[in-house]
Chain A
Amino acid sequence: MPERRLLLLALGLVLLCAVYLGWGLRAPYGFILSLRVTKLAALVVTGLAVGAATILFQTVAANRLLTPGIVGFDSLFVFIQTTLVLTLGAAGFASLPGLAQFAAETACLMIAGLVIFGTLFLRGSGDLLRMILTGVILGVFLRGLSSFAGRLLEPSEFAIVQQASVASFGAVDRTELAVAACVLVLALAAALRLAPALDAAALGRMTARGIGLDHDRVAMAALALVTLCVALTTALVGPVAFLGLLAASLAHAALGTWRHRLLIPASGLIGAMILVAGQTVFERVLGLQSALAIVVEFAGGLLFLTLVLRRPAR
């Protein structure tokens, strides 16, 4: 029963959270716990948002190999960081008010996402190939600009950009996290409300319209939620490119259902489980010898190649 499996996933996440919080805990308990709780909340918020957003995106795009990152969110985020450091300098960048920077980055990413999704979906009515090509070209263009700007930076400034460009859960601001969590709860509630319509949208645009679904409206609503979730988490912790693909693929495999009211939370829970489990292993077993985001991208990249090479595009 998919409902039962979803419950098991929720229990699994609770268990992983408990392990993360309790493993190797020593005095001063309160201080260490408060640090771990903040990091854990960042991991869970990011995992939930990216996992859920990827299910929505794949349904609207009618392709299970895609993630919302196709429109170049990661490149845009890196470009924003590089531009900020270039224009403000290392000291100016460090003195930026955190919440304002977070809000501005979220807004920039959202506007870019909505412009790309909105333009392509409204003009091309779901022209997937055009959307992918635009995303890839935009990503290459922004990476090129970032690379050029990077050459103009001092080595110390470049190091700051490098650090800010890789997803990091260690230094998340609590206020930003609280804002992101509140917005995410609302976004997930909206996504679940949209779930029955997404079930119908998965039939394909023309068939869905034939049975009375306002497909374009549902697609735009879903894409707005996707943009919101991805923009929030990217601005919060940085880009985590392949996490969504991992979570959504595992959610489809674990639940074996097409019902979005189950798939959306399942993918979110799996996204959170991957991050919490990964972070636990990194901190407690590997002694922080690498960055979690790099391994998630590595594993996600391998999965992507496996999906592309092993079965027809779905």
Chain B
Amino acid sequence: MIETETLGVALGGRTILDGLNLRFGQGGITALVGPNGAGKSTLLHALAGLLRPARGRVTVEGLDMARAAPIDRAKAVALLTQSERVTARLTVADLVGFGRWPHHKGRPGAEDHRQVAEAMELFDLTALSGQLLDSLSGGQRQRAFTAMAYAQETPWMLLDEPLSALDPRYSRDLMERLQGLTRPGPGARSVIIVLHDLSAAARYADRVVALKGGRLVTSGPASLKLTGEMLSGLFGTGLAVETVRGRRLVAPV
């Protein structure tokens, strides 16, 4: 379980998150939604222990993330940030291999190679394994980074807007893969994901956490909480949740 206790984060003297008390139970997909500047990415970074709280604390399975050693943090959660520029000329296999860093610290063994191969297969990257990152499309690149986060073999995967560079086909493909990862069973992952695609949140998320201005607006099961009224209030514009062919979709009205 990930818990935040009166979590407050300030950046450059400005309060970004203010007094958040949250509990993320294991399993399933939790979508973080909210308007720009709500503090979603900041929350994700704070959950990963990469931002030191100004107040309160974050624990992952009891581990205080602000005090934990970097390697212990990286074994507890994998964070996929919005794509960073990589200066090294890496192949897809090299990049995914870096997901194993917390386990091998630069000296990969047989188990690491096996996990990398599994991650590449799972994200349909095996054919691209020798290709340089520079030569990939935005979608392929995003998949490679997601596979890297998967190879980290953590119980929690925190993903910051992984659909931002993806077309509808790859968005759907990635969300279905993530859904597959969270199915109960050995090695099941728990996913917390920042989404601007509210239809994707409505369709794939099990739970939702809505933020605005660094404060919690609501949280709970996505099927109950993601309503047109809540979303309209959250984003300050008319939004409706409709069911089309058995799928929930969010559309402006």
Contacts and interface: CB of A to CB of B under 8 A. Distances in A.
Interface residues of A, number: 26
A200 B85 contact: no
B98 interface: yes
B66 interface: no
A212 B50 contact: no
Nearest to A200: B101
A58 interface: yes
A256 B48 CA distance: 33
B143 interface: no
Given A59-B87, A196-B105, A212-B74, A206 B50 contact: yes
A129 to B, nearest CB: 14
A226 B74 CA distance: 28
Interface in B98-120: 98-99, 101-102, 105-107
A112 B155 CA distance: 45
Given A64-B87, A212-B71, A258-B89, A207 B81 contact: yes
B43 interface: no
Size class of B's contact patch?
20 to 34
Most buried by A among B87, B98, B101: B87
A200 B90 CA distance: 11
B221 interface: no
Query: Most chain-A Cβ atoms within 10 A of its Cβ — which of B71, B85, B95?
Result: B85
A62 B87 CA distance: 6
A202 B107 contact: no
Contact of A210 (B79, B89, B106): B79
Interface in B168-217: none
A194 B88 CA distance: 16
Contact of B107 (A196, A252, A256, A314): A196
Nearest to B149: A210
A62 B105 contact: no
B106 to A, nearest CB: 3
A118 interface: no
Contacts of A212: 70-75, 101-102
B88 to A, nearest CB: 4
A212 B101 CA distance: 7
A154 interface: no
Interface in A208-235: 209-214
B107 A207 contact: no
A97 B72 CA distance: 52
Which among A59, A214, A258 has the highest number of chain B CB atoms within 10 Å?
A258
The 6 nearest A-B residue pairs measured at CB: A196-B106, A212-B74, A204-B84, A258-B88, A202-B88, A212-B102
Interface of B: 45, 48, 50, 70-75, 78-81, 84-90, 94-95, 98-99, 101-102, 105-107, 149, 152
24 contacts: A63-B87, A196-B106, A197-B106, A199-B88, A200-B98, A200-B106, A203-B95, A204-B84, A204-B85, A204-B87, A206-B81, A206-B84, A207-B86, A210-B79, A211-B74, A211-B99, A212-B70, A212-B71, A212-B72, A212-B73, A213-B70, A213-B101, A256-B89, A258-B90
Given A196-B107, A207-B84, A211-B101, 16 more contacts: A59-B87, A59-B88, A62-B85, A62-B87, A200-B106, A202-B86, A204-B87, A206-B81, A209-B50, A210-B50, A210-B80, A211-B152, A212-B71, A212-B75, A212-B101, A258-B90
